[in-house]
Amino acid sequence: MADVIIVGAGPAGIFAALELVRQKPGLDIVIIEKGKDIYERSRSANEMLIGWGGAGAYSDGKLTISSEVGGQLAGVISEERLMGLLDTVDGMYREYAAPDQVFSVEGDDAAWISAKARLAGMIYLPTRVRHIGTENCYTVLKNMRDDLDGKITIKCKAEAKAILHDGQRVAGVVLDDGATIDAGYVIVAPGRAGSAWMANEAKRLGLDAWPNPVDLGVRVELPAVIFEKLTTLAYETKFIYYSKTFDDKVRTFCMNPYGEVVQESVDDLLTVNGHSWKNKHTENTNFAILVSANFTQPFDDPIGYGKSVASMANMLGKGVIIQRLGDLLKGRRTTDSRLQRCSTRPTLKTAIPGDLSYCIPYRILTDIVEMLECLDHIAPGVHSDHTLLYGIEVKFYSHRIQLDSELCTQMSGLYVIGDGAGITRGLMQASCSGILAAQSIISQCS
């Protein structure tokens, strides 16, 4: 028996716990996490997204302080409330040892980047970014874990199998070992790793949910010097481009100056991602170019589509494929010997040289190549033969669950938050969603 159960110990679940403990110390809170505790976790592809800290533990730790980036909370609460929450969350990350420095582009610099982007046919999205860095993410999340120790019950290696209810009121959770925990409030924060489970539970419980588009693309890697001017100013520069051929929205995403490309495993699929360390630099910068695949009637399975594209790449490359841009444009595969002659040295050593045009749909590949041409006007050298492309990068967003403005579902007492609710896509907004749900519960308990 507990007052509040939190499923998932990623940033969303952790911030819900922190807020509940701070504002209502007497509550009996249990947090259930299917992966390992932070002290036992490793950076292997299988554990990358699962365990205390969730996907945040080995992330790049870019805290993007913007209502326009990293989620759709701006469509649920007022801009003013969201900005207030972003400030609160940012302050809390700093309390647990996030660094002081914030990258913020303003005045002449912002005008200069905007003008260059417009000339190249793109839109620049200015953001404020605090960069924790991968090695420090572990410390920050461990500090949060240590702070919560003894104040709440933490059950790692325990998986929620079913959400219990009594009519239209949530009643608790059943775990994988058959044990039941009763509670008047349940906050579910399962992240991308729990999105399939969440979609099934929503269906079983009769909660309205609808698919989010899937984002597909490649991870681009090039010498850091090419983007140095921009990354020194802004750390991450976000650009949006509407492609000439298809009028698709194409965007840069998750830029990691002096970082490394990593392999990640999602439901037995090997995909790519990127991150950078705070104090250990490679010679390269990486970022993703993504295209949203949004389908209309009768097709309603964007996740299935994304998985099918990624599995094709896995089938051909036995994992992640790497290709030089020059080879892609000349219509030939990259081979081991061509990769040896590439002046950009890949940071992901396990990627297999191959041909991405066999697995990335024409529409998406065309969008990506067009955007690389535009980026070359801003950062000369992007559209070089020696730019490396890794595929597939895919972002499966969870089904968007019907939520009210406090992130409560149609079932009383049941909250679904973070990336697993399909409403956030990054550390800051996921953390904000935890605070929102906690504040709603606190207001009902007092």
Ligand X SMILES: Cc1cc2nc3c(=O)[nH]c(=O)nc-3n(C[C@H](O)[C@H](O)[C@H](O)COP(=O)(O)OP(=O)(O)OC[C@H]3O[C@@H](n4cnc5c(N)ncnc54)[C@H](O)[C@@H]3O)c2cc1C
Binding site for ligand X (CB under 6 A): 7-13, 32-35, 48-51, 54-56, 58-62, 64, 70, 159-160, 189-194, 197, 254, 262, 264, 273, 275, 418-420, 424-428, 430
Beta strands in 276-376 (DSSP E): 284-293, 321-324, 352-353
Distance between CA atoms of 1 and 422, rounded to whole angstroms? 29
Distance between CA atoms of 60 and 55, rounded to whole angstroms? 10
- Neighbour tally for 269: CB within 10 Å: 19
CB of 121 to ligand X, least distance (A): 27
Distance between CA atoms of 166 and 412, rounded to whole angstroms? 10
- Please give the structure tokens belonging to residue 243: 């492609």
**Nearest to ligand X of 105, 160 (CB atom):** 160
Residue 153's closest CA among 37, 34, 30, 26?
30
CB of 332 to ligand X, least distance (A): 31
Write the CB contacts of 169 (distance below 8 Å, at least 6 apart in sequence). 411, 412, 413
**Nearest to ligand X of 52, 124 (CB atom):** 52
Distance between CA atoms of 238 and 371, rounded to whole angstroms? 12
Cα 301 to Cα 88, 151, 280, 292, 308: the distances in Å are 36, 42, 40, 13, 11
Residue with structure tokens 């040295």? 345
**Nearest to ligand X of 60, 355 (CB atom):** 60
**Nearest to ligand X of 12, 171 (CB atom):** 12
CB of 297 to ligand X, least distance (A): 30
Residue 328's closest CA among 373, 285, 295, 282?
373
AA identity, residue 172: G
CB of 436 to ligand X, least distance (A): 13
CB of 403 to ligand X, least distance (A): 14
**Nearest to ligand X of 7, 365 (CB atom):** 7
CB of 304 to ligand X, least distance (A): 20
- Please give the structure tokens belonging to residue 19: 């807020």
CB of 421 to ligand X, least distance (A): 8
Distance between CA atoms of 158 and 8, rounded to whole angstroms? 10
**Nearest to ligand X of 10, 319 (CB atom):** 10
Distance between CA atoms of 280 and 275, rounded to whole angstroms? 11
CB of 377 to ligand X, least distance (A): 26
**Nearest to ligand X of 256, 384 (CB atom):** 256
**Nearest to ligand X of 89, 325 (CB atom):** 89
